[in-house]
Amino acid sequence: MWANTVLFKRSSAMAVVLVVGTLAILPTTATAQFLGQNRAVGGILVDPSGAVRLATAFEVDADIAKLRQRLEQAGPELNGAVELRKVSLRGLEAAIQSALANNQGWLPDEIRYLAGLQRIRYVLIYPDQNDIVLVGPGEGWKLDDAGNTVGITTGQPVLHLEDLLVALRTVNAARTEGISVSIDPTAEGRQRFEQFMSRQTTFNRGVVAGLANAMGPQKITYTGIPEGSHFARVLMVADHRMKRLAMNFEKSPVKEIPGFLDLLKSKRRSANSATPRWWMACNYEPLARSEDRLAWELRGPGVKAMTEDEFVAADGTVRGTGQEDPTAKEWAERLTANYEKLAQKDPIFAELRNLMDMCVVAALIEKEDLTGLAGGGGFPLLTAATDDLDIGKWHAPQTLATQCSYLKIGRKYVITASGGVQIESWEVASKSQVDEQLKAVHSKAATPSDKTWRWN
């Protein structure tokens, strides 16, 4: 989402116009492998035309009731919370092939939720087994009251096989064009907005409604990923949620991250910039690796917020200025510094970080040729699109309605919209440093003798 803020000095109030909506999933026909995965994400619904709106409480409850009837509980060996759960990509492929052959295309939940893995911390290569193993915290799973599939004790989301497939299969697109989502006013909408504002001499609630109507629907744009995927839905919902927090449409669950409007109000001044925008991006330290490149570790918080001012031309197009509004920068810094707290409170931000983890892992595997290091052959069922294991089909979010909020500060109106997500996974994968302590992690995580695809 891009920010569009206009300073308007004709009365003693500050108005903030925001593009937001609510989301719920009204799915298209899913592939057999992911039947039941089409559900609401973060309380957001998407109709067959791609229009986004907030789900009603009745819709959310009905959706969750159906999902809970289908949900398969984790077995005793997976239910307990552990710091290091291992998932073998070679074994995962075999487990998927067996399920497709024996279950008429239905994948058990332990496969769909990657054995309850909740983050990827280590990537370990075993050439003698022609395998790559993903390692991180994990536990059994349940549905929370919002319909998120989360750990039974931590409440943090588990990884989805469907998202891992997208990360692995779009790795080259991530390198050449990047992975991103943005929610932007159209050029025509910006022009109508300017025309509407030029006719206003006073401010009231009727003006707010007129502003939203003039701006019209915002366009959702994706880069590098299938628009109809769960992966794309999570990116869009996280972007949308960030905007709602910034513009005070939702109360922040973390006191250290007040709304952007609250920051402006506390300083008793409007934004210096006419057009600040925010977006979320990767935030990792250099990857750690063993000298032999058989063990890798992801380090750092994973996600940060960034900001830049924009200039809106007369034709409604925008460009970056390379400058940062001080208050917008402070809001971005607060979100970055407290991202872990936010992810603990709101699972959609933890899911966003999981997607970034998976993209970094995919870029690492490709850039360092870890499949070759593992003995070659690769993981074709996971990395190549096939009819046997296609990703689920969701209605792709295309438009989001404009909404408005306002507060009184001095003699200015501020009209604004903000947001965006960008994943630069190849940049993260290009930076690493040797840490020989990873050898011990590698030796302890070796595949057990029973050849299972997941173990603790």
| 404 within a domain of the structure (yes/no) | yes
| 406 within a domain of the structure (yes/no) | yes
| pTM confidence score | 0.85
| 1 within a domain of the structure (yes/no) | no
| 140 within a domain of the structure (yes/no) | yes
Residue 220 belongs to domain spanning: 6-455
| 35 within a domain of the structure (yes/no) | yes
User: What is the tally of structural domains in the chain?
Assistant: 1
| 68 within a domain of the structure (yes/no) | yes
| 391 within a domain of the structure (yes/no) | yes
Cβ 328 vs Cβ 271: under 8 Å: yes
- Encode the chain (456 residues) as per-residue pLDDT tens digits: 333 333 333 333 444 444 443 332 223 333 334 433 445 566 666 666 666 666 666 666 677 777 777 888 888 899 999 999 999 999 999 999 999 888 777 899 999 999 999 999 999 999 999 999 999 999 999 988 888 899 999 999 999 999 999 999 999 999 999 999 888 777 888 788 778 877 877 766 677 778 778 888 888 889 999 988 899 989 988 988 898 888 888 899 999 999 888 888 787 655 554 456 788 999 999 999 999 999 999 999 999 998 875 545 455 445 555 667 788 889 999 999 999 999 999 999 999 999 999 999 999 999 999 999 999 889 999 998 877 787 767 777 778 777 766 655 555 555 554 457 899 999 999 999 999 999 999 998 877 766 789 998
| 316 within a domain of the structure (yes/no) | yes
